[in-house]
Amino acid sequence: MYIRTFSSTMQIIVGSLLLFMAVVTKADDSSIMCTESYCNKYPGQADPACPTLPSLCNKTKSDSGIFLPSPTPCNCCDFCIAYLNEGDTCSTGEKTSDSPTEICGPGLYCDQTTEKCRKMTGTLCLNAQAKYDADKAVGKVGDYQVRPSCDGDGYYVPYQCIPGGICYCVDKDGNRIFGSIENNGRAEFDLPCTCSRNFNEMGNIVGRKLRPGEYFRCAQNGAYEPLQCIYDTTCLCVDTMDGAPTYKNAIPVEIYALSNDTLPCFNKTVNMEGKFFRRCEELHMNRTKEIEDKKEDYDKVLAYELPDCTPDGNYAPVQQNITHKYCMTPQGIPLTEYILEKIPSNAKLLSNMNCKCAMALRIMSSEEKPSCLKNGNYNPKQCRRGACYTVDEDGNQIIS
């Protein structure tokens, strides 16, 4: 059993907790120790009653502390580590210390010299928050600007949202990466971005963008797709949040054998029997193989153009050929209103073409839509509900 934690501080804390697990040896419920009825009776048994929660902890307030499985048999009791506020007295603890009941809250750290909770500084997200707060204090924040959200270690949370627009995945430094949904107010639940972040980090490690077949495929919301295949051999089911194998008793199968009978995660509505890779992936992989084969006979291979694919295996928004550059749907259909000929008069539009506005239009259902340029980028000047303002390349309002 493990607990997924979100900060180095919490890893230390959770590691100090002793969690007891009951071992189920028979299918008969009478042999199962950790049942709901057991926990309902637990405080009244001979075991110690559930400890009192710290006064600062409040289940109705997500920012009051972290609720975790309790260090009691079957995790029956509530257990909480309360968040301290800036300036509160704190302790860094020792290896032999008891498990703490209080820690400095998100964005804070325990200053060993003063033994007080202090604000973290120095990360890009914390610096952006400080700038936002300073601008707001002097009235320089726009109506549609959003305060950056940082995690407990001071890095950007996995997503950022545009009011009335979309939410998209970001890396820990706030740079936009693959994965987006319409801003429905549920990004915390509907846009996990775990696969997108891992895909991006692995590309940074190897020093190039990963090619189709080299990685676990991501879904449009940045999570892992439940069915995964690597190259043309092993296919298996994985957890959508962390990519860990699920259905551990299911034997991995080859692509040609994919069906609802061979893997439990096979879904007829989105998967095809005996087929995994999508059109962009197949084209990229086939042409890459042809290039490698040609290199055995020639020093250089010049006549091949590889399609650009996104981590979900579909076509990237920006594609090009010898004469044109254009925005394309994930399924490979060019968007005719965003096709630019490669001529000198289009040089500026071609050089920074990203199609982010064109792609936002495709997933937004609201009547209020952003204004796009001929290259599919956001028009730097946007107007909404009678107010006009400047936006960056991702559509976020900025103060120029």
Query: pLDDT-derived band of residue 86, with 50, 70 and 90 as boundaries?
Result: very high
**Phi, psi for residue 39 in degrees, rounded to 5:** -70, -30
CA distances from 286 to 172, 211, 212, 225, 280 (A): 34, 12, 10, 23, 10
Cα(79)–Cα(20) distance, integer angstroms: 14
Residue 323: the pLDDT is 95
Burial group, residue 63, by CB count within 10 angstroms (0-12, 13-18, 19+): exposed
DSSP H helices, the chain, are 8-15, 36-41, 124-137, 187-190, 194-206, 279-295, 347-351, 356-363
Residue 376: the pLDDT is 98
Instruction: Measure CA 216 to chain center.
Output: 14
**Phi, psi for residue 59 in degrees, rounded to 5:** -60, -25
Pair type for strands 381-384 and 227-230:
unpaired
- Single-letter residue type at 309: C
DSSP 347: H
The answer, yes or no, to whether residue 7 has pLDDT greater than 80, is no
The answer, yes or no, to whether residue 46 has pLDDT greater than 60, is no
In the chain, % helix, strand, coil (3-state, to 5) comes to 20, 20, 55
CA distances from 74 to 20, 40, 41, 48, 52 (A): 6, 11, 12, 13, 18
- CA angle at residue 64 from 62 to 68, to 5 degrees? 75
- Reading the block at residue 18, the tokens are 């002793």
Residue 75: the pLDDT is 78
Query: pLDDT-derived band of residue 40, with 50, 70 and 90 as boundaries?
Result: confident
Cα(380)–Cα(172) distance, integer angstroms: 25
Nearest to 61 by CA among 15, 105, 1: 105
Mean pLDDT of 20-25: 32
Higher pLDDT, 212 or 63: 212
Pair type for strands 102-104 and 78-84:
parallel
State the first-to-last Cα distance of the chain, in angstroms, to the nearest integer: 51
Mean pLDDT of 106-121: 89
CA atoms within 13 A on the CB side of 265: 22
Cα(9)–Cα(83) distance, integer angstroms: 12
Residue 12: the pLDDT is 36
The answer, yes or no, to whether residue 100 has pLDDT greater than 80, is no
Cα(80)–Cα(78) distance, integer angstroms: 7
pLDDT digits (tens, 9 = 90+) for 291-337: 777 776 666 655 567 889 999 999 999 999 999 999 999 999 999 99
Residue 345: the pLDDT is 97
pLDDT digits (tens, 9 = 90+) for 191-218: 999 999 999 999 999 999 898 888 899 9
Cα(1)–Cα(187) distance, integer angstroms: 28
Q: Which residues make beta-bridge pairs with 67?
A: 80
Cα(92)–Cα(6) distance, integer angstroms: 18
Residue 380: the pLDDT is 97
User: Locate tokens 């950790």: which residue?
Assistant: 34
